[in-house]
Structure 1
């Protein structure tokens, strides 16, 4: 995503937030529609498979409940990613405390293509998922934020709670590891 497009989206988000704060509930619906798909992809990329919709909803509930703390120093989407990441970490800590074990199911990759297309797509998806699984959690997070979400290193650093330099290093290492695994 280009910087100009991100700035335009950020301006639209600010206008929608102003409308919501003024009592326009439709603005909240528009914000959810704009950002929910990216939040769902981010959650899945972090290993969440169950209750992704609920996690996205919880993210918005928490965000709308804390709008006064949003200072627009980063984009709304970056702030939402940060909230969702914290929710995921909180869930995992809670599960670990209860000694529960998370078991994720594979997403169904079925499409309307031919059987061969389906097999190739599934094999490619599994190969990429195995490559992602081999990354450290932080590398995977940085990789997904950069590649799938088009976030800047500054935004990635903010979301992941690290520095821009560290985000660049993690991305570089993740990219190298992904290429090595996929080329093997």
Structure 2
């Protein structure tokens, strides 16, 4: 993206700011979401003179990174609103003060489902989000929280890997740091 205008969210992937939105496909598509290193982007349809989408699908070219057979943009979400909910929760996880990967050890009864099987930028991949004890946000195999006391609420904390620099001392040793 040209210039140094900050993007929105930006913890992992980025929602384009007004200045960064790009019209493509002869003005029929809007690129609005970008991977943090610009390896892929997402776009959605806008008025194409024949059909107006109230909540159009989202397409991504991320498949090109994983398969030589996937060229161009592939539909990754049936609707823009569904994609944006997943993207917002995804960024909440990655922008948390404390971020870990691994098996958290919670039972299903301890987790409040927030958003299940939400589509994201990768074909055939979804993310599910849960809240534990009102303090721990879980996305698939990611565990995130801002309150250092929340570490004591995680059943298998010692098996998690810290994502960041300088492991904080929670009084509970983690497995390792990345």
- TM-score, normalized by the shorter chain, greater than 0.5: no
TM-score by length of 2: 0.25
More strand as a share of residues: 2
TM-score of the aligned structures, taking structure 1 as reference length: 0.25
The structure carrying a bigger helix percent of its residues is 1
Q: Which has the higher contact order (CA 8 A, sep 6+)?
A: 1
